[in-house]
Amino acid sequence: MGKRIGLEVSLSAAEAVKMANVDCIAAYPITPQTHIVEHLSELVNNGELDAEFIPVESEHSAMSVSAGVSAVGARAFTCTSSQGLSLMNEIVHIVASMRLPIVMILANRSMSGPISIWNDHTDVMSIRDCGWIQVFANNGQEVFDNVLFAYRVAESQKVMLPLIINIDGFILTHVIEPVEFWEKEQVKQYLPDFKPVYTMHPDRPVTMGGVGMPYVFSEAKVAQDEPLIQSKAEIITAWKELGDVVGRYYKPVETYRMEDAETLFVTQGSFGETVSLVVDALRNEGESVGLVMDRLWRPFPFDEFREATSQAKNLIVIDRAISYGGQGGPLAIDIRSALYKGENQPNITNFICGLAGRDVTINDFKNIYHRAMEKIKENPMEEDFEYYGVRGK
Amino acid sequence: MEIVEPTNVYAYKLITKKDYFAPGHRACQGCAEALAVRLVAKALGRNVIVASATGCMEIISSPWPFTSWRVPWIHVAFENAAAVASGVEAGMKVLMRKGKVPKKKITFLAMAGDGGTSDIGVQALSGALERGHDFVYICYDNEAYMNTGIQRSSSTPYGASTTTSPAGKVIPGQMTWKKNMPEIAAAHSIPYVATACPSYPIDLVEKVKKAAKIKGPAYIHMLSVCPTGWRLPPELSIKAGRLAVETGVFPLYEVDHGRYRFTEKVEKLRPVEEYLKIQGRFRHLSEEMRDTIQKRVVEEYKKLVKKVQMTQGD
């Protein structure tokens, strides 16, 4: 068993990147991602990590440099938040189509405006359809484990796609948590060297990123979506084998206190841990409630969701992002689609809360629970959503 | 122009017959940019990795499933050729250091047009030059956004009529002066900056070879005559390039570790009119505007002469 160390999550994430023996880190500073890249530059400058640290002049270049790094067959890491993600948006889409297995930590932060440095999921939701594998983390240990998992999955020749690890800004990035490090042997056992099918090398010239004329474009895009959909199998295997190595087992969808639960909370990211306490409290009060946490966001785990919710009467979906003018938050929209015409069709209520780092406490979730029950009683088929805790509403 | 230079006789020996930029691409007739790319590829040989920006050279050379590239070539987007090349260089460096790829001298080349360099790509380029990556950046300057249909860029010369700086009744074409990209590159104090033009193939090849040999960033600004956009017959491309140099509109020089040197000495500048009159994009110019251009060209040329004198010192 590895050492258990109390460390800021950003720093332990950087330590995991070091354990993954990355070759190049290209990054541009943006709050709340900064501590991760600061620590990585320290590791490189102190000779603890043999890698190139490339302090680029923008996030657009961070992703562009990473594209070049990955194209020659080197292991690339980058890291950003909100506005930085928006600036690199163009290249985020392109590297997925080029099948370059870059790993990025996204320290989730709200999109301007108004400008805010605090946490919500509006940044990642803005690139939901960018073709990357996307996972969320509940705590520091998951972040650490998922960095090694990320390279294993992304670089698998069956997958060859970039991967985003979502970490809630400040709420996760800036807290100190006990994290169990991996032994070097465990990393060796779990994460093979990066062996891409094609690389840029004069001995074996290839053309990458050619023009997709209309007669091939659709085929190219389907050839990109299929491996993303199929990557779920590889993801499940990689999490299972991660468990076999370090004893922590992860699944695309996690559940908590599901026994006979009539009502299920559905969360993404660090809300999961808070809501688990709420579930305990509500259970003590005699309520029949459980929790479903979405870890894998893309490819969306349809089967796992349907299975997890197969016995539920009511779902309370918590979104930390807005889909302006849409049918609730992005998570609720996907869940409604997933369960439409399913065998079990629970009532779905949706609450949008915690925008720009506004605290959502145990009491707030209790209020949400009671409000949801009220709404379902009033109109069980209602498919709208509510902003929770907004003044004047 | 009629005089055969001694080097021309031996040109076939100096420039390899091997083509790494294959024929059959989709460039327009008389495209001097495609010719420049071909010469650059010859100069660099097979041990090169090319990062290309979006633009004419990308679309004409890589319509899947075809490719004109016999060397590794990557295109990601419009404004980031310098950043992609930075990643290619850094990635290769670390792979060689770690013994994952055998050690070998590889030239890393970034290429973009004038839009991809002096407009949308200037930030990524400046970043890469400042960070000191060991790479060669070539700007193929055809003085407008030719790929999208001849829109003006910051590299379009004063007076030129383009589709977004048309020669109108009130505003007679481009009203701003060409951005001086080689000087901007030189201001980064990088080891090597040069201008080149495929009308001078030996000079071009020598500069590209030198740029590849020098450690650290090198920048080459390549005047690339575009018959389609400049409104001139394709058979005049090479002549137009020569006239650009001989009139002083586009002097051929290099800045080697801060030292300026003319590589094609022009004893007496020809009148700018000779260069302007063969191009449809300048057809509408008034005499006054032509005089303004002539004056400016001489002024700029004098500045360059001073820089040569000031920095040679021997």
* Mean pLDDT calculated for residue range B49-66: 97
The reported pLDDT for the residue numbered B7 is: 53
Domains and CATH numbers, chain A: 4-246 (3.40.50.970), 253-387 (3.40.50.920)
Residues B74, A68: C-beta atoms closer than 8 Å = yes
For residue B133, the one-letter residue type is: H
The reported pLDDT for the residue numbered B9 is: 53
The reported pLDDT for the residue numbered B6 is: 53
Chain B residue closest in CA terms to A208: B74
Residues B84, A90: C-beta atoms closer than 8 Å = no
- Residues 154-193, chain A, touching B (beta carbon < 8 A): 193
The reported pLDDT for the residue numbered A3 is: 82
pLDDT digits (tens, 9 = 90+) for A319-360: 999 999 988 999 999 999 999 888 899 999 999 999 999 999
**Chain B residues touching residue A23 (CB < 8 angstroms):** 91, 94-95, 98
Q: Count of CB contacts below 8 A, A vs B?
A: 171
Residues above pLDDT 70, as percent of chain A: 99
Q: How far apart are CA B290 and CA B287, in angstroms?
A: 5
**Cβ of A197 under 8 Å from any chain B Cβ?**
no
Chain B residue closest in CA terms to A217: B64
Q: How confident is the model at residue B52 (pLDDT cuts 50, 70, 90)?
A: very high
Query: Look-up: residue for tokens 């998992």?
Result: A149
Instruction: From residue A12, give the alpha-carbon distance in Å to each of A139, A143, A146, B8.
Output: 11, 8, 12, 63
Q: Give the containing element (helix H, strand E) for B241.
A: helix B237-246
What does A118-136 look like in DSSP terms, one character per residue? S--SHHHHHTTTSS-EEEE
Q: Supply the Cα-derived Rg of chain B in whole angstroms.
A: 19
The reported pLDDT for the residue numbered A1 is: 67
* Mean pLDDT calculated for residue range A248-275: 97
* Mean pLDDT calculated for residue range B287-309: 97
Q: To the nearest whole angstrom, how far is the Cα of A148 from the nearest Cα of chain B?
A: 20
Mean pLDDT in chain B? 95
Instruction: From residue B57, give the alpha-carbon distance in Å to each of A19, A76, A369, B226.
Output: 41, 28, 60, 12
CB atoms inside a 10 Å sphere around CB B148:
13
pLDDT digits (tens, 9 = 90+) for B250-290: 999 999 999 999 999 899 999 999 999 999 999 999 999 99
**Chain B residues touching residue A88 (CB < 8 angstroms):** none
* Mean pLDDT calculated for residue range A87-100: 98
**Cβ of A24 under 8 Å from any chain B Cβ?**
yes
Torsional sign, CA A44, A49, A52, A53 = negative
Residues A69, B101: C-beta atoms closer than 8 Å = no
pLDDT digits (tens, 9 = 90+) for A197-248: 999 999 999 999 999 999 999 999 999 999 999 999 999 999 999 999 999 9
Q: How confident is the model at residue B1 (pLDDT cuts 50, 70, 90)?
A: very low
Encoded tokens for B1: 């122009």
Which residues have a Cβ under 8 Å from the Cβ of A179 and sit 6 or more positions away?
A4, A5, A6, A7, A9, A12, A140, A141, A144
Closest CA to B228 of B29, B52, B64: B29
Which of B25, B56, B64 is the mutation pick for testing A, counting most A CBs within 10 A?
B64
Which of A49, A91, A94, A211 is the mutation pick for testing B, counting most B CBs within 10 A?
A211
Residues A24, B58: C-beta atoms closer than 8 Å = no
Which residues have a Cβ under 8 Å from the Cβ of A219 and sit 6 or more positions away?
none
Mean pLDDT in chain A? 96
Encoded tokens for B181: 């990209």
Q: Which of B72, B84, B86 sits opposite A202 (nearest CB)?
A: B72
Q: How far apart are CA B148 and CA B116, in angstroms?
A: 12
Q: How far apart are CA A355 and CA A119, in angstroms?
A: 7
Beta strands in A81-236 (DSSP E): 103-108, 133-136, 163-168, 176-180, 207-208
CB atoms inside a 10 Å sphere around CB A233:
12
Encoded tokens for B40: 């650059």
Residue A380: pLDDT above 80?
Answer: no
**Chain A residues touching residue B62 (CB < 8 angstroms):** 207, 209-211
- Residues 93-152, chain A, touching B (beta carbon < 8 A): 94-95, 98
Query: Look-up: residue for tokens 């049918």?
Result: A327
Q: To the nearest whole angstrom, how far is the Cα of A245 from the nearest Cα of chain B?
A: 26
The reported pLDDT for the residue numbered A393 is: 75
Running DSSP on this structure, what letter comes out for residue A176? Answer: E
Q: How far apart are CA A191 and CA A148, in angstroms?
A: 7
Q: How far apart are CA A68 and CA B56, in angstroms?
A: 21
Asked if residue B89 lies in contact with residue B108, where contact means CB atoms within 8 angstroms, the answer is yes
Closest CA to A317 of A364, A276, A368, A390: A368
Closest CA to A195 of B106, B93, B101: B101
Residue A15: pLDDT above 60?
Answer: yes
Closest CA to A300 of A355, A351, A228: A228
* Mean pLDDT calculated for residue range B80-107: 98
Q: How far apart are CA A28 and CA A351, in angstroms?
A: 34
**Chain A residues touching residue B80 (CB < 8 angstroms):** 60-61, 64, 91
Residues A202, B71: C-beta atoms closer than 8 Å = yes
Q: Which of B70, B72, B131 sits opposite A54 (nearest CB)?
A: B131
**Cβ of A1 under 8 Å from any chain B Cβ?**
no
Residues B59, A202: C-beta atoms closer than 8 Å = no
Domains and CATH numbers, chain B: 6-312 (3.40.50.970)
**Chain A residues touching residue B47 (CB < 8 angstroms):** 202
Q: Which residues make beta-bridge pairs with B111?
A: B52, B138
Which residues have a Cβ under 8 Å from the Cβ of B123 and sit 6 or more positions away?
A57, A58, A60, A61, B79
Q: How far apart are CA B263 and CA B192, in angstroms?
A: 14
Torsional sign, CA B147, B151, B155, B161 = positive
Q: Which of A65, A76, A90 sits opposite B77 (nearest CB)?
A: A90
Alpha carbon of residue B25 to chain centroid: 19
Q: Which of B73, B85, B126 sits opposite A57 (nearest CB)?
A: B126
Chain A residue closest in CA terms to B75: A209
Encoded tokens for B245: 């140099």
The reported pLDDT for the residue numbered B121 is: 98
Q: To the nearest whole angstrom, how far is the Cα of B77 from the nearest Cα of chain A?
A: 7
**Chain B residues touching residue A68 (CB < 8 angstroms):** 51, 74, 76, 83-91
Closest CA to B122 of B146, B154, B158: B154
Residue A126: pLDDT above 50?
Answer: yes
For residue B299, the one-letter residue type is: E
Residues A69, B126: C-beta atoms closer than 8 Å = no
Residues A65, B59: C-beta atoms closer than 8 Å = no
Q: Which of A50, A52, A202 sits opposite B106 (nearest CB)?
A: A202
